[in-house]
C-alpha cells in the first residue's frame, strides 16, 4: 500500500494541471491550485476502518495527504482534537445536538498547526530551503515553529497590532520577523516583493497548494468522530477561509469514496462586522468579494479584508446551501464568557463568533430543531490574553472571605 495516493495539482478555474514533485505557487491564471488523488486506487486499497488502529494525529489519513515519502513528515503530534458535546450551552440556545471541534489543543494552540504540518512537510519533500509569509499572528507562529523543526529558514511579516504572544513564538523560532504598521494585506505586499527579490518559497495563504490539505483533516476527523455520518451544519470563523475550503474538500472526497452517506452539511462562514467581505458578497449573491476598507476586529485571525480564495469559500457555501453571517466584537466577548461559565471551555474570540452565529441562526429558524450542529473553535483563549477584561476584588492579608 502506498503512503500517499497523490496524483497532481489542478486549477479550479482553468483546469491546468501541475506535477506535485516540483515547486508550484499559483496557476498561470492567478488561481490557487488544489491537490487531486488517484481515487480508484485509493478506493480499492483503503478502508475507513484502517484509521481506527493508527496514531491519534492527522497523519492517520496519510493516504489522503500529499506527502509521498514518510521520511519527510514533520510533526509535533497535531490533529485528532476532541469533538466536544456542549449540552448546557445547547440547551441555552435551543440546539439539542451541539458540538465543538476544539482546535485549541493542537501544538501552537490553534488550528494553524494543521496547515503548517502538512505544508512544511511537503515543502521539505520538494526541496524548499527558505520560505516567507504574511500573517495575522497564529499562522506565522505555526509555520515558523514547524519550519524550525524541519530545518527550513523562514521570514515572517505581521501587522504591528498582532498578538504579542504570536510575535514571541516567531522570534523564538529563529525566524526573521518583521512588523508592519498596517493590515495583513500590507504585509502581503512586502512578502510578495521579498519572494521576487530573493527567490523565496511563498507560503502565503493559498499561494502554496498544501496548507489546505492539512486543514481538510478537520473535516476528515469530524466525519470519523461522528461514526462516518455527517452533521447538518458546520460553522467556521472565516478570514482567509482555508479551513472552510478544506472541510468542504474533505467531505466531498469522503462522499466520492462512498465512506459517508447523505447530503453534505450546510457550511456557514462566520465573519466580524468590522471585516465581512465574504458576508457582503454572499448577501449580494456574488462569487467573489470586494476589498473591505478600514477593517478592524478584536478577532484578529479573521481580519482579512480580501481573501485570495474567496471564490472557493463562496462556492462551498452555495453548493451546500449554507450561508454567511457577521458578528460584532462585543457579542463574541459576551459569548466567550458564557461558554466558559456554562461549559468550562476558554475559547478564542473567533471560535466564540461561531456560537453567536448558531444562536442567531437558530432564532431565525435557519437551524432547525433536532439538527446536529458543529462549531469550530480555532484556537485556545489563552492566546488572546488582552481580550478578556475582568474585575477581581483585592483582599488584605487579614480579610476573610
Give the pLDDT confidence of 35-62 residue by residue, as tens digits. Answer: 999 999 999 999 999 999 999 999 999 9
Task: Write 308-311 long-range contacts (CB < 8 A, 24+).
Answer: 308/32, 308/204, 308/205, 308/206, 308/207, 308/240, 309/32, 309/205, 309/206, 309/240, 309/241, 309/242, 309/245, 310/241, 310/277, 310/278, 310/281, 311/13, 311/287
DSSP per-residue codes, 80-91: ---EEE-HHHHH
At the second CATH level, the architecture of 83-110+211-383 is 3-Layer(aba) Sandwich (3.40)
Q: What count of residues does the chain have? A: 401
268, 357, 360, 366 from 363: Cα distances, Å:
15, 10, 5, 8
Q: Are 26 and 13 in contact (CB under 8 A)?
A: no
- Pairing of the two strands 201-202 and 34-37: unpaired
Give the list of residues 6+ apart from residue 290 with CB closer than 8 angstroms, or none.
277, 280, 281, 306
What is d(CA 292, CA 277) in angstroms, rounded to the nearest whole number? 6
Q: Is the pLDDT at 220 greater than 90, yes or no?
A: yes
Structure confidence by residue, pLDDT tens digits, 113-157: 999 999 999 999 999 999 999 999 999 999 999 999 999 999 999
Distance CA 55, CA 57 (A): 6
- Cell numbers for 270, please give them: 462566520
Q: Which three cell numbers stand for residue 382?
A: 489563552
CB 65 within 8 A of CB 212: no
Crossing angle of helices 112-125 and 138-150, rounded to 10°: 40
pLDDT digits (tens, 9 = 90+) for 332-374: 999 999 999 999 999 999 999 999 999 999 999 999 999 999 9
User: Domain residue spans in the chain?
Assistant: 83-110+211-383
Residue 144: predicted pLDDT: 98
pLDDT surpasses 90 at 246:
yes
DSSP-assigned letter for residue 374 = E
SS3 assignment, position 360: helix
| Pair type for strands 83-85 and 97-102 | antiparallel
- Give this prediction's pTM: 0.95
Phi, then psi, of 135 in degrees rounded to 5: -155, 150
274-329 pLDDT, tens per residue?
A: 999 999 999 999 999 999 999 999 998 999 999 999 999 999 999 999 999 999 99
Cell of 135: 500573517
Helix H segments across 163-276?
A: 164-172, 184-198, 211-215, 217-225, 242-257
Amino acid at each position: 500500500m502506498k503512503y500517499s495516493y497523490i496524483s497532481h495539482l489542478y486549477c479550479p478555474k482553468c483546469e491546468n494541471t501541475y506535477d506535485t514533485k516540483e515547486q508550484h505557487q499559483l496557476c498561470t491564471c492567478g488561481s490557487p491550485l488544489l491537490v487531486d488523488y488517484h481515487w480508484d486506487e485509493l478506493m480499492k486499497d483503503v478502508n475507513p476502518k484502517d484509521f481506527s488502529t493508527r496514531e491519534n494525529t492527522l497523519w492517520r489519513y496519510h493516504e489522503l495527504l500529499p506527502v509521498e515519502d514518510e521520511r519527510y513528515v514533520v510533526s509535533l503530534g497535531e490533529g485528532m482534537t476532541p469533538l466536544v458535546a456542549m449540552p448546557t450551552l445547547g440547551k441555552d440556545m435551543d440546539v439539542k445536538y451541539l458540538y465543538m471541534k476544539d482546535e485549541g489543543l493542537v501544538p501552537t494552540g490553534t488550528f494553524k498547526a494543521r496547515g503548517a504540518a502538512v505544508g512544511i512537510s511537503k515543502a521539505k519533500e520538494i526541496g524548499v530551503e527558505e520560505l516567507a509569509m504574511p500573517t495575522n499572528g497564529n499562522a506565522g507562529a505555526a509555520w515558523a515553529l514547524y519550519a524550525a523543526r524541519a530545518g527550513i529558514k523562514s521570514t515572517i511579516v505581521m501587522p504591528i497590532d498582532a498578538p504579542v504572544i504570536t510575535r514571541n513564538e516567531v522570534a523564538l523560532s529563529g525566524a526573521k520577523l518583521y512588523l508592519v504598521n498596517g493590515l495583513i494585506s500590507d504585509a502581503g505586499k512586502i512578502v510578495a516583493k521579498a519572494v521576487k527579490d530573493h527567490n523565496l518559497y511563498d507560503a502565503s495563504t493559498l499561494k502554496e497548494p498544501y496548507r489546505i490539505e492539512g486543514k481538510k483533516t478537520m473535516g476528515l476527523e469530524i466525519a470519523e468522530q461522528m461514526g462516518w455520518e455527517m452533521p447538518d451544519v458546520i460553522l467556521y470563523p472565516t478570514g482567509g477561509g482555508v479551513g472552510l475550503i478544506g472541510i468542504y474538500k474533505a467531505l466531498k472526497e469522503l462522499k466520492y469514496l462512498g465512506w459517508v452517506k447523505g447530503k453534505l452539511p450546510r457550511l456557514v462562514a462566520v465573519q466580524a462586522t468590522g471585516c465581512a467581505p465574504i458576508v457582503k458578497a454572499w448577501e449580494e449573491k456574488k462569487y467573489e468579494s470586494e476589498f473591505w476598507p478600514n477593517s478592524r476586529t478584536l478577532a484578529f485571525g479573521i481580519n482579512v479584508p480580501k481573501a485570495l480564495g474567496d471564490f472557493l469559500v463562496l462556492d462551498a457555501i452555495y453548493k451546500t446551501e449554507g450561508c454567511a453571517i457577521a458578528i460584532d466584537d462585543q457579542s463574541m466577548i459576551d459569548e466567550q464568557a458564557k461558554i466558559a461559565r456554562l461549559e468550562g471551555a476558554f475559547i478564542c474570540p473567533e471560535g466564540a463568533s461561531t456560537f453567536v452565529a448558531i444562536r442567531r441562526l437558530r432564532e431565525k429558524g435557519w437551524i432547525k430543531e433536532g439538527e446536529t450542529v458543529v462549531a469550530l473553535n480555532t484556537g485556545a483563549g489563552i492566546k488572546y490574553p488582552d481580550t478578556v477584561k475582568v474585575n477581581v476584588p483585592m483582599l488584605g492579608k487579614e480579610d476573610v472571605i
